[in-house]
Amino acid sequence: MTRPGSAFIALLLVVILVAGVSIMFGQPRDLIPVDLASDSASQANSSRRGPPPFPGVIVPLDLVLTQLEKRGFTLYLPAKMVSGLQLTAVWAKVFDGEISFPLVVVYSNQGDTAIATAELAVEITPSSGISWSVTNSSTDRFGKVGEWTAFITSRAPVGYEEYYLKYHTEYAFCVDLQIGALNYLLRFSPVLTTEEATEISASMKPVAALNP
């Protein structure tokens, strides 16, 4: 027969063990997801397969510029567009009113604001260099685009189902540029030629210079 004291100690050990496991595998406080505002645009950015939806919202470009300048970043965007492309949305994660990276700027000639399907999407992150490496010499290469060293690939996989349904391919032409302290990954849909993609990439200028 188990003595009452022994039973109590055994129960206490079980409680301590369960609590320890909960602490060990519990989500860190600073990683608790923030419930961002959703709208029709963010819903349009969802995907049924491939990458999860971008966890952010559409924000004004002026707000992005103001906050990046305070942090010492200079934002570059293409100065030259083709085929009627226009900037349709700037996507960002927002925490307590503060913009955080990555940013995604999308361009379209059809008013498309979705990252998954816009004709051109530019992902912007802080980085000390280009992280790509050549895996296929027939599709990947390092080269010079405008003033910058760039990694260029003609067959970067795009996992969004919406992208495949719109363009009938799972690949995109991508140009990765390192400008200052920021990395710019430009993803071009097949409606743009290689020459047009290269021309757009080479035209990157500080946004302040685009809107004097």
- Locate 96 and state its tokens: 């307590």
pLDDT tens figures, 164-182: 999 999 999 999 999 999 9
pLDDT tens figures, 9-28: 333 333 333 333 332 223 22
Residue 97 pLDDT: 86
Residue 211 pLDDT: 66
Mean pLDDT of the chain: 80
- Locate 69 and state its tokens: 């300048």
pLDDT tens figures, 81-126: 998 999 999 999 998 889 999 999 999 999 999 999 999 999 999 9
- Locate 208 and state its tokens: 């302040």
Amino acid letter for position 63: L
Phi-psi category of 126—alpha, beta or left, where left has phi over 0 and alpha has psi -120 to 50?
Answer: beta
Beta-strand pair 76-78/86-95: unpaired
Residue 52 pLDDT: 75
pLDDT surpasses 50 at 41: no
How far are the Cα atoms of 5, 15, 16, 111, 126 from residue 11, in angstroms, in the given order? 10, 6, 9, 63, 51
